[in-house]
Structure 1
């Protein structure tokens, strides 16, 4: 289900970049938590997977198995998996927006749908392709395989399959990137209104509702945020 392309202006796009965590002031770099884009992307992917699986269960659509389909559903949620990728792959937050664009381009093929069996592999492959395309530095596929919990051989195969499916057309114009940023926020806002996110208070009091307020606007756009390198923890599926 491809995203629609809303109209944008300079004020909206800068506010959207800041809200998603794509711009980070120098004073915030060392204390920044996971950028908001990870949460919004995860919510959107969860929604899409649920809709696709409902259609498949009702036999309204027919699905073709792809290289991205695993034998079982990973135990790690999409949100935690996205956070793991960001933490250990040390890619810029923009890679997740670009990765979403690649995912939706891939899913334009006939009878190809994203489900809980394929979403994790699609996500990490799209994000690392984006990182190799726009980031100044990146790791090899042996490392990314450990991050994603898959073998180096499979990581190589998934990357090649995605690249050939996209015909190696990785360039995304700025207007498309802007529209995806704004639409991510709109999609997530609709989900939050339907089902508010409850955050458990640390002092044992009643859980609070997370409304996702807009961050302070930064002067520079698309400043890439990196986390210091940390030892990998096991994650296989």
Structure 2
């Protein structure tokens, strides 16, 4: 993972979110560094909760569907970079994925992000976010290969995720903007990172999908 001492200037990240180029040789979106830093901090809080919490909470954390049998030998930063490298998902996809992660944790208070479930949660949320944001998408089988899962495993994770989310996947302009602001405040405190408002990306999402966007388009590309 990138060192927390590395500073991403607001102006540079602002330009990345507003004017990101989807060319084949595009550099990794800066939001990946920010998201990796934030998730690492969340996982550190999880460790403290497990250490100081009750047995029932620890059990709830260790028995969810996103748990893998062996912890992947890959940092959050490297995993996110791998997903970007092979899917070319843009900055807005990663922001929407973070919205989904936050909603998922709010809807399922017994769930805590940890080293055993974080990779599967990330590939699932990024895949669903990509289906929501992008016009063209890879199939689940391809996302599975990118994330180190079989097609069947990722299909099951997606279905479980959707039901645990109550199929509430719509992210409107104001929600997108509020999460950009939230990420800016959080990461500026924790690691020197900043996310500026990305209204252009949010407006593109709104224009493409409309206020009443459901999961119809996602269902079409799901295996």
TM-score (norm 1): 0.71
In 1, Cα distance between equivalents of 2:117 and 2:28: 24
> Is 2:164 the counterpart of 1:165?
yes
Choose from 16, 19, 22 the match for 1:21.
16
The answer (yes or no) to whether the contact 1:21–1:36 under 8 Å persists in 2 is yes
TM-score (norm 2): 0.75
The answer (yes or no) to whether the contact 2:123–2:147 under 8 Å persists in 1 is yes
The answer (yes or no) to whether the contact 2:43–2:115 under 8 Å persists in 1 is yes
Q: Deviations over 1:135-194 (max 9, x none)?
A: 01001111101100111110100111111111212101211111111221222221235x
RMSD, aligned CA = 2.9
The answer (yes or no) to whether the contact 1:141–1:152 under 8 Å persists in 2 is yes
In 2, Cα distance between equivalents of 1:17 and 1:180: 19
> Is 2:220 the counterpart of 1:221?
no
Residue segments in structure 1 that go unaligned for 5+ positions in a row: 1-14, 194-211, 225-237
How far apart are 1:74 and its partner, in Å? 1.3
In 2, Cα distance between equivalents of 1:20 and 1:42: 20
> Is 2:29 the counterpart of 1:35?
yes
In 2, Cα distance between equivalents of 1:113 and 1:176: 23
Higher helix share: 2
In 1, Cα distance between equivalents of 2:36 and 2:185: 14
When Rg is computed on C-alpha atoms for both structures, the one with the higher figure is 1
> Is 2:53 the counterpart of 1:54?
no
The answer (yes or no) to whether the contact 1:70–1:118 under 8 Å persists in 2 is yes
Q: Deviations over 1:189-219 (max 9, x none)?
A: 21235xxxxxxxxxxxxxxxxxx6899x99x
Aligned length: 189
Residue segments in structure 2 that go unaligned for 5+ positions in a row: 1-9, 206-223
Q: Relative contact order: is structure 1 or structure 2 higher (C-alpha 8 Å, sep ≥ 6)?
A: 1
How far apart are 1:59 and its partner, in Å? 2.4
